[in-house]
Chains A and B, each alone.
Chain A
Amino acid sequence: GQQVMQIPQYQHVQEGEDFTTYCNSSTTLSNIQWYKQRPGGHPVFLIQLVKSGEVKKQKRLTFQFGEAKKNSSLHITATQTTDVGTYFCAASTSGTYKYIFGTGTRLKVLA
């Protein structure tokens, strides 16, 4: 079945450093979403990417969809302690009605 891998699994950064998580699929995706789950919380929708090569920004967060629509990345500039949590990508392929969530990247920010 479809698998979505995220790397790295864990990342510890000093506050102010940048952070990037990557999402990779073996199959071509129709679209991809990103979610953030704070410790003890539930996933919260961040953004959706649909077009090949698409780049979207939300303040310090930059999301990118690969040209081949098989990978995506989330980059955070100048991390803050409020960025702590697990970031999940969720991918769908054409002809399906569901999103498969990636394995997640747990981010810790050291003050």
Chain B
Amino acid sequence: DSGVTQTPKHLITATGQRVTLRCSPRSGDLSVYWYQQSLDQGLQFLIQYYNGEERAKGNILERFSAQQFPDLHSELNLSSLELGDSALYFCASSVGGLGYGYTFGSGTRLTVV
């Protein structure tokens, strides 16, 4: 157990639908990062939050949005889902700043059918 909790572990949904992925960071970590990993692909950075505020944005689609709540958990919302959105979505957390390694959760596997 890495200390970063992601729910659900698996999600199967139809095209056009909307889903919410949830992440609870490791205790004490203020930063949350979201990454997308497609089959046999690398990790694509989506977005970062630090203590409730958006700090950095990657190649996140307009159909995707995220937020970090006062208790520091984060949610990634994916809407108007397409087949190509099927992937493993990882959340990672860190104390903050670039001097620390990321702790990754086990991921949410999203399948769009």
Whose C-beta in chain A lies nearest to the C-beta of B105?
A: A42
How many of B's residues come within 8 Å of A, CB to CB?
25
Asked whether, in the complex, the Cβ of B98 is within 8 Å of the Cβ of A101, the reply is no
Contact A97:B56 (CB < 8 A) given known A31-B98, A48-B99, A48-B101:
yes
Number of interface residues of A (CB under 8 A): 24
Residues A98 and B103 in contact, CB atoms below 8 Å apart? no
A78 to B100, CA, bound (A): 29
CB pair A43 B43 closer than 8 Å: yes
Number of A-B pairs whose CB atoms are under 8 Å? 58
Q: Is the CB of A97 within 8 A of B101?
A: no
Prevailing SS type, chain A contact patch: strand
Q: Report whether A97 and B42 are in contact in the complex, using a CB–CB cutoff of 8 Å.
A: no
Does A110 sit within 8 A of B, measured CB to CB? no
B43→A88 contact, CB < 8 A:
yes
| Chain B residues whose C-beta falls within 8 Å of the C-beta of A90 in the assembled complex | 102
Give residues in B with beta carbon < 8 Å to A: 2, 33, 35, 42-45, 48, 50, 55-56, 58, 90, 92, 97-107
A97-B48, A100-B45, A101-B44 given; name 12 further pairs at CB < 8 Å: A42-B2, A48-B99, A48-B101, A50-B99, A88-B42, A96-B56, A97-B55, A98-B33, A98-B55, A101-B35, A101-B42, A102-B42
Residues of A within 8 A of B (CB): 30-31, 33, 35, 41-45, 47-48, 50, 88, 90, 92, 96-104
Selected A-B contacts with CB under 8 Å, 9 pairs:
A33-B102, A42-B2, A42-B104, A45-B102, A90-B102, A97-B48, A101-B42, A101-B43, A103-B42
